[in-house]
């Protein structure tokens, strides 16, 4: 009889919370909305009209393919224990095909079903390779793109997710990445830069040209930005895996950083080029959202405000000055916004993390007298940059050898919509 009695703590630890579960279900939907149609429209509007369908299709196919990949093997590689020798690097195969995860099973240490966690994390696995599309847009073969992206999800995303969130070495080190500054944004952004350089410039792309390549549908960019912004509230707000004060703070700081970065960009536009541009505002929004992503669970209003402003300043500088200086054709600024914004957020956690948010004994930054967190954040960032760059370089060489990545010059001139997909966007 006595054996059936549990302590209060034990009872709490095995109860599903319907509020938490409901919020993470909503967050999962929000994060899916970020890729399709959010990112698809954002990127689709920025390319020329002859390539808009290719970008939409790339976002669509990645959503489908990565959902399958995630269930088959991705989740297991990222979120199971890989055995003593390799667990610092990658998880194991215990949960391939979601082996053994029952409907009633809760995620260990949380009050939501593990199956829900699988879905929620799966949406992150989808959007990360989709972000890279921005770097090679308008000049990539569909076949090469798909093979590259799937392999990238398998051997770049999964290990990194394991390093940071699945019990690997970066997480063990104490580095903070609340919603994917390293795993999602630095990872995708740095890979984007490597891809842009290896793939070469688009035909006719010259940043100082009198005939620049400009967006074909800015209202698409606006709708995409708005959907990204809304979705991001689930991206960051759901990453605490609960509906509580931390998620409320995450949503608050996410909005603050996005607003601060957008205003910063618009201010710079007005000062430097005399006109506040719509694409500029939208780019600022995304820069702020990216930068606050890793920090949304550890910083408050002040941190978010400063992170937003700094990300607006630095991303503007990267896109308007550094890119023209080095002339790499990062078509839609996947590196300039996601890579750089992610690095800013990831590092600045080490400055602005506060125990007002992380709780007593939690992480805090240099602003509160602790220098060790900054150092840890720096290592996590550097490791991510190096790993992403190296692996992407390797994958590019392999896939290029196997099926070819760069589209033929003739098809590029015609446009990817007709040459790769046999369709025309606007009759």
Contact positions toward other proteins, by CB under 8 A?
207, 209-212, 214-215, 268-269, 272-273, 275, 277, 279-280, 283, 316, 319-321, 324, 333
406 forms beta bridges with: 140
**In this complex, which beta carbon is closest to other proteins, that of residue 168 or of residue 224?**
224
CB of 46 to other proteins, least distance (A): 9
Least distance CB 149 / other proteins (angstroms): 25
Q: Smallest distance, Å, CB 182 to other proteins?
A: 25
- Ramachandran area for residue 98 (φ above 0: left; ψ -120 to 50: alpha; else beta): left
Q: Each residue of 38-61: b (16+ CB within 10 Å) or e?
A: bbbbbbbbbbbebbbbbbbbbbeb
Residues 6+ apart with CB under 8 A from 67: 122, 126
- Residue 229 has phi, psi (to 5 degrees) of -60, -50
Give dist(CA 214, CA 231) in Å, integer: 26
Q: How far is the CB of 145 from other proteins (least distance, A)?
A: 24
Structure tokens at 14: 């095995």
Cα–Cα nearest to 62, from 32, 30, 99, 82: 32
Select 85 or 275, whichever has its Cβ closest to other proteins. Answer: 275
Please, what is the minimum distance in Å from the beta carbon of residue 274 to other proteins?
A: 8
Specify the residue, 114 or 333, whose C-beta has the smaller distance to other proteins: 333
∠65-144-410 over CA atoms, to 5°?
130
Comparison of 9 and 211: residue with beta carbon closer to other proteins: 211
User: What are residue 140's DSSP bridge partners?
Assistant: 406
Cβ distance to other proteins smaller for residue 85 or 325: 325
Decide whether 284 or 294 has the Cβ nearer to other proteins: 284
Residue 78's contacts (CB-CB under 8 Å, 6 or more residues apart) are: 91, 121, 125, 157, 158, 159, 161, 162, 165, 166
C-alpha dist (Å) from residue 237 to 137, 217, 244, 296: 30, 30, 9, 8
CA distance 361 to 174: 13
The nearer residue to other proteins, 215 or 234, going by C-beta atoms, is: 215
Nearest distance from C-beta of residue 212 to other proteins, angstroms: 5
Backbone phi and psi for residue 47, each to the nearest 5 degrees, phi listed first = -85, 175
Nearer to other proteins, 269 or 412 (CB): 269
If phi > 0 it is left, if psi is from -120 to 50 it is alpha, else beta; for residue 143 that is: alpha
**Closest separation between CB of residue 218 and other proteins, Å?**
10
Closer to other proteins by Cβ: residue 71 or 207: 207
Q: How far is the CB of 286 from other proteins (least distance, A)?
A: 11
- 């390549």: which residue's tokens? 213
CB of 55 to other proteins, least distance (A): 17
């Amino acid at each position: 009889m006595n054996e059936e009695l549990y302590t209060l703590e034990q009872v709490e630890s095995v109860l599903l919370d319907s509020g938490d579960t409901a919020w993470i279900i909503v967050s999962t939907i929000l994060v899916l909305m970020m890729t399709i149609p959010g990112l698809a429209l954002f990127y689709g509007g920025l390319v020329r009209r002859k390539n808009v369908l290719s970008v939409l299709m790339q976002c669509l196919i990645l959503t489908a393919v990565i959902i399958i990949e995630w269930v088959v093997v991705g989740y297991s590689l990222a979120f199971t224990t890989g055995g003593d020798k390799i667990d610092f690097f990658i998880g194991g195969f215990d949960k391939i095909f979601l082996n053994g995860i029952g409907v009633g099973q809760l995620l260990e240490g949380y009050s939501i079903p593990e199956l829900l966690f699988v879905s929620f994390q799966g949406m992150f696995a989808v959007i990360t390779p989709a972000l890279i599309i921005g770097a090679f847009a308008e000049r990539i073969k569909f076949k090469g793109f798909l093979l590259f992206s799937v392999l990238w999800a398998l051997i770049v995303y999964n290990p990194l997710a394991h390093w940071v969130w699945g019990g690997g070495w970066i997480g063990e080190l104490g580095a903070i990445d609340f919603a994917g500054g390293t795993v999602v944004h630095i990872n995708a952004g740095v890979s984007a830069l490597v891809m842009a350089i290896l793939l070469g410039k688009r035909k006719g792309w010259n940043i100082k040209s009198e005939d620049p390549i400009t967006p074909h549908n800015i209202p698409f960019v606006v709708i995409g930005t708005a959907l990204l912004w809304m979705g991001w509230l689930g991206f960051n707000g759901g990453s605490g895996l609960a509906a509580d004060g931390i998620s409320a703070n995450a949503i608050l700081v996410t909005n603050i950083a996005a607003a601060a970065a957008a205003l910063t960009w618009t201010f710079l536009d007005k000062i430097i080029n005399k006109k506040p541009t719509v694409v500029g505002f939208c780019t600022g929004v995304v820069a702020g959202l990216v930068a606050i992503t890793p920090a949304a669970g550890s910083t408050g209003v002040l941190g978010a405000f400063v992170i937003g402003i700094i990300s607006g300043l630095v991303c503007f500088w990267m896109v308007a000055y550094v890119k023209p200086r080095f002339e790499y054709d990062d078509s839609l600024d996947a590196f300039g916004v996601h890579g750089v914004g992610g690095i800013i957020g990831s590092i600045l956690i080490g400055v602005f993390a506060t125990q007002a948010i992380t709780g007593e004994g939690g992480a805090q930054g240099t602003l509160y007298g602790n220098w060790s967190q900054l150092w840890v954040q720096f290592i996590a960032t550097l490791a991510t940059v190096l790993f992403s760059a190296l692996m992407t370089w390797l994958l590019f060489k392999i896939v290029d050898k196997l099926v070819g990545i760069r589209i033929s010059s003739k098809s590029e001139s015609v446009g990817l919509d007709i040459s790769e997909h046999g369709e025309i966007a606007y009759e």
